[in-house]
């Protein structure tokens, strides 16, 4: 991923400068005023739909007094942020009051008991909700207490989960709760009197969950379960591909069913690991708002296949540099669900312009937009001048739309067997099987598809995934996201006197 140099943008578009901010025009300012200005400034500069939001117009406020007084009419920074979004087009921008938790979440670190789950409404039409365990993070509290994939639960601390209370019961600030497990009972679960108390703690999840090889006749089929595009695991992802390459695989399944996205650079690396024969060719392209496009050269918005991982920190110092282990494949299979979003969709879409891409699963989320993290400093970066020490608010606004080399993306999701070749098949909450084993119906069906080419099955296809209303990943600070790493250019800073 090429660096995005934002300093020149700031120099061109800021209506108010840092020194002007000290002019209060006779009113006393508060920390909330500073947060409100940060929100407006960041969105006015970078927001993808800046032109469509009247309150983000460059001439909306004559001075700081006007801006401060206007936004004091809102009850919270969160309300101000929401008021400045272009709804309903924008479904994914968000703001946090703790950027440390957000940064940790980007690296797979979250407050969690280790039980990753989805939530589903009862099939009888009531407002009751049940959860199904997708997987359990190794060495977590859930792991040590025997929670496993496929278990069903319908109560927390003795209260039945419903459409109106599940967020309060499962995602409150309480670090422990007691889960009441149940039997599936055709989607109307009955309690089985198995209660387990779980404790949340700070956990780091390795997103490279499973790597293995299946030998089916003359086929050596690699399988990768990849749950997040986390930059700090790019080296381990590359090592996994080294192992697959040494095994001599000739087919590959990448399981993105629970992967909500992450780093665009990691997505580019993954596409380059699958292939290798397109080094330097256009992988994906970005569209930003007019301000950013006018300030930066066109090549800054292009992502190319690469043969090297080169990750840097916010100061531009190299933290990882190594050759990519490419497989040189001309075909790849993806397992997807509605939880496959953003960077997951980017990889599928980008590779489909070059090689044969086939899907097994359900329609993806339809998140073809990306964000950057903005902080309250002079240049909106964490290492920028005058980072505000009085709060930890940060924003993750949508700033770009991304497409493949053919300028195609799928805002309504990528549909197996329709958008791209494949098989539509949802997860069966009563028969999830074991991830990475033939007992997993989605993996088993993909292996059959590879070895026989058949899209039909004796098993009845289902649409369970469309009944899911929420999942545990959506409650993390990072949520389902695709982000660009924004880095400074020290020479431009120096020339601008910032």
CATH number at residue 150: 2.30.42.10
Q: For residues 435 and 294, what is the distance between their CA atoms, to the nearest angstrom?
A: 47
**Tokens describing residue 370:** 């990306």
Q: How many domains does the chain have?
A: 3
Residues 291 and 223 in one domain: yes
CATH number at residue 453: 3.90.226.10
| Residue 431 phi, psi (nearest 5) | -155, 70
Residues 14 and 136 in one domain: no
The pLDDT assigned to 126 comes to 95
Residues 70 and 115 in one domain: no
In a domain, 100, yes or no: no
Residues 302 and 410 in one domain: yes
Residues 189 and 233 in one domain: no
In a domain, 491, yes or no: no
The pLDDT assigned to 471 comes to 95
Q: How many residues does the chain have?
A: 498
Is the link from the previous residue into 88 a cis peptide, with omega within 30 of 0? yes
Residues 238 and 360 in one domain: yes
In a domain, 105, yes or no: no
The pLDDT assigned to 466 comes to 52
Residues 115 and 85 in one domain: no
In a domain, 102, yes or no: no
Residues 235 and 257 in one domain: yes
In a domain, 498, yes or no: no
Q: Cα-Cα-Cα-Cα dihedral of 281, 284, 287, 288, to 10°?
A: -100
Which three-class secondary structure string do you get for the chain? CCCEECHHHHHHHCCCCCCHHHCCCCCCCCHHHHHHHHHHHHHHHHCCCHHHCHHHCCCCCCCHHHHHHHHCCCCCHHHHHHHCCCCCCCCCCEEECCHHHHHHHHCCEEEECCEEEEEEECCCCCCEEEEEEEEECCCCHHHHCCCCCCCEEEEECCEECECCCHHHHHCCCCCEEEEEEEECHHHCCEEEEEEEEEECEEEECCCEEEEEEEEECCEEEEEEEECCECHHHHHHHHHHHHHHHHCCCCEEEEECCCCCCEEHHHHHHHHHHHCCCCCCCEEEEEECCHHHHHHCCHHHHEEECCCEEEEECCCCCEEEEEECCCCCCCEEEEEECCCCCCHHHHHHHHHCCCCEEEEEECCCCCCCEEECCEECCCCCCCCCCCCCCCCCCEEECEEEEEEECCCCCCCCCCCECCCECEEECCCCCCCCCCCCCCCCHHHHHHHHHHHHCCCCCCCCCCCHHHHEEEEHHHHCCCCCCEECCEECCHHHHHHHCC
Residues 115 and 62 in one domain: no
Which of 204, 233, 267 is the last residue before a domain boundary? 204
* pTM attached to this predicted model: 0.90
In a domain, 306, yes or no: yes
In a domain, 496, yes or no: no
Residues 433 and 454 in one domain: yes
In a domain, 191, yes or no: yes
pLDDT in tens, the chain (498 residues): 444 444 444 444 444 544 445 445 557 899 999 999 999 999 999 999 999 999 999 999 999 999 999 999 999 999 999 999 999 999 899 999 999 999 998 888 999 999 999 999 999 999 999 999 999 999 999 999 999 999 999 999 999 999 999 999 999 989 999 999 999 999 999 999 999 999 999 999 999 999 999 999 999 999 999 999 999 999 999 999 999 999 999 999 999 999 999 999 999 999 999 999 999 999 999 999 999 888 888 898 999 999 999 998 877 789 999 999 999 999 999 999 999 999 999 999 999 999 999 999 999 999 999 999 999 999 888 887 789 999 999 999 999 999 999 999 999 999 999 999 999 999 999 999 999 999 999 999 999 999 999 987 655 455 555 578 999 999 998 877 787 865 433 332 232 232
Residues 135 and 270 in one domain: no
The pLDDT assigned to 263 comes to 93
Residues 18 and 148 in one domain: no
Which of 204, 233, 259 is the last residue before a domain boundary? 204
Q: Which domain covers residue 217, as residue numbers?
A: 208-465+476-483
Which of 155, 182, 204 is the last residue before a domain boundary? 204
């Amino acid at each position: 991923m090429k660096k995005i140099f934002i300093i020149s943008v700031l120099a061109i578009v800021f209506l108010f400068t840092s020194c002007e901010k000290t002019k209060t025009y006779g009113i006393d300012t508060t920390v909330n005023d500073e947060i409100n200005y940060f929100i407006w400034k960041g969105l006015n500069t970078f927001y993808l739909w800046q032109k469509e939001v009247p309150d983000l117009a460059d001439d909306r406020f004559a001075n700081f007094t006007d801006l401060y007084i206007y936004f004091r009419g809102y009850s919270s920074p969160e309300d101000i942020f929401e008021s400045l979004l272009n709804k309903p087009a924008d479904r994914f921008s968000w703001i946090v009051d703790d950027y440390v938790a957000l940064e940790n979440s980007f690296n797979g670190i979250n407050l969690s008991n280790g039980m990753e789950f989805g939530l589903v409404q009862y099939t009888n039409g009531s407002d009751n909700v049940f959860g199904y365990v997708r997987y359990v993070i190794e060495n977590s509290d859930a792991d040590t207490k025997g929670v496993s994939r496929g278990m069903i639960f319908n109560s927390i601390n003795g209260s039945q989960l419903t459409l109106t209370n599940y967020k309060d019961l499962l995602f409150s600030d309480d670090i422990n709760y007691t889960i009441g497990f149940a039997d599936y009972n055709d989607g109307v679960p009955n309690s089985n009197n198995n209660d387990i108390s779980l404790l949340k703690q700070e956990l780091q999840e390795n997103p490279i969950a499973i790597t293995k090889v299946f030998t089916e006749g003359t086929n050596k089929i690699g399988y990768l379960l990849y749950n997040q595009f986390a930059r700090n695991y790019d080296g381990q992802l590359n090592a996994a591909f080294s192992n697959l390459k040494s095994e001599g695989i000739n087919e590959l399944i990448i399981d993105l069913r629970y992967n909500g996205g992450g780093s665009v650079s990691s997505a580019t690396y993954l596409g380059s690991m699958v292939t290798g024969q397109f080094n330097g060719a256009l992988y994906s392209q970005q569209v930003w708002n007019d301000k950013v496009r006018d300030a930066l050269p066109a090549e800054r918005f292009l992502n190319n296949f690469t043969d090297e991982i080169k990750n840097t920190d916010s100061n531009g110092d190299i933290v990882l540099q190594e050759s990519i282990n490419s497989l040189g494949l001309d075909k790849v299979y993806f397992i997807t669900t509605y939880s496959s979003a953003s960077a997951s969709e980017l990889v599928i879409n980008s590779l489909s312009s070059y090689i044969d891409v086939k899907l097994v699963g359900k329609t993806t989320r339809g998140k073809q937009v990306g964000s950057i993290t903005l902080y309250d400093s002079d240049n909106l970066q964490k290492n920028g001048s005058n980072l505000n020490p009085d709060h930890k608010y940060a924003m993750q606004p949508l700033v770009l739309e991304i497409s493949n080399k053919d300028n195609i993306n799928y805002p309504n999701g990528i549909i197996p067997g329709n958008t791209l070749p494949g098989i539509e098949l949802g997860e069966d909450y009563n028969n999830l099987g074991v991830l990475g084993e033939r007992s997993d119906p989605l993996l088993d069906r993909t292996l059959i598809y590879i070895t026989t080419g058949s899209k039909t099955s004796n098993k009845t296809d289902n649409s369970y995934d469309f009944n899911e209303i929420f999942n545990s990943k959506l409650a993390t600070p990072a949520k389902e996201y695709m982000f660009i790493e924004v880095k400074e250019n020290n020479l431009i800073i120096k020339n601008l006197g910032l």
